[in-house]
Amino acid sequence: MKPQEPPEPARAAATPAVDKIDTGYLESLTGYNARRAALTVIEIFLDRMAVYKFRPVDFSVMSLITHNPGITSRQLCAALDILPPNLVAIINALERRELILRKPHPRDGRAYGLHLTASGQKLMHDAERTAQELESDATARLTAAERKTLIRLLQKIYL
């Protein structure tokens, strides 16, 4: 025989209600906190970088090309931990937008160095200024020293 279920009011009384969520365990985890912080910053980034049509990875690629003229695709993949097929699509899209161009590498005849076009330089000048402003806004509750410490500690995890 199948046991009979208690009447509705009795079953509801046996189930505890959660009024205040205990997030203590999750908040003790580095990954949880890093992810929550990243989501907050990325949300601001996506909003402010939409005018440049940049996703975080596009901005990262363009920033490395900006600060390392002639960087190769292989070097970009290593620096950003991007798989080569994924980078090819990004590079092609940036090239179609006429933001970058490929030039033969001076020492490796099989490779191409990546360079900004004049319009790419202008766009990155504005985008990096926007990135600096959004970083300041996203970390406004931190002092300058705390920002430096946070970056240093995060880098100790992944470098």
21 part of a folded domain: no
Which of the two residues, 151 and 8, has the higher pLDDT score?
Answer: 151
112 part of a folded domain: yes
Cβ atoms of 130 and 49 within 8 Å: the answer is yes
Which of the two residues, 65 and 10, has the higher pLDDT score?
Answer: 65
State residue 129's pLDDT score.
98
Give the structural domain span for 145. Answer: 28-158
The yes-or-no verdict on residue 10 having pLDDT over 60 is no
Give the Å distances, CA to CA, from 89 to 5, 50, 59, 120, 157.
58, 19, 14, 17, 29
pLDDT tens across 36-81, in order?
Answer: 999 999 999 999 999 999 999 999 999 999 999 999 999 999 999 9
Count the alpha carbons within 13 Å of 28 in the hemisphere toward its beta carbon.
4
9 part of a folded domain: no
pLDDT tens across 101-157, in order?
Answer: 999 988 888 889 999 999 999 999 999 999 999 999 999 999 999 999 999 999 999
- How many structural domains comprise the chain? 1
Cβ atoms of 105 and 72 within 8 Å: the answer is yes
Give the Å distances, CA to CA, from 154 to 31, 62, 151.
11, 22, 5
The yes-or-no verdict on residue 2 having pLDDT over 70 is no
Name beta bridge partners: 114: 71, 102
Q: Where are the alpha helices (DSSP H) in 68-117?
A: 73-80, 84-96
Rounded distance between C-alpha atoms, residue 44 and residue 62, angstroms: 19
102 part of a folded domain: yes
82 part of a folded domain: yes
Task: Say if pTM beats, i.e. exceeds, 0.75.
Answer: yes
State residue 16's pLDDT score.
84
State residue 30's pLDDT score.
95
The yes-or-no verdict on residue 13 having pLDDT over 80 is no
5 part of a folded domain: no
Rounded distance between C-alpha atoms, residue 80 and residue 54, angstroms: 16
Among 55, 34, 49, 56, which Cα is nearest to 133's? Answer: 49
Rounded distance between C-alpha atoms, residue 58 and residue 124, angstroms: 11
* 75 residue type, one letter: Q
CATH number, domain of 74, equals: 1.10.10.10
State residue 136's pLDDT score.
94
16 part of a folded domain: no
Q: DSSP code of 33?
A: H
56 part of a folded domain: yes
> In 10 A of CB 22, how many CB atoms?
8
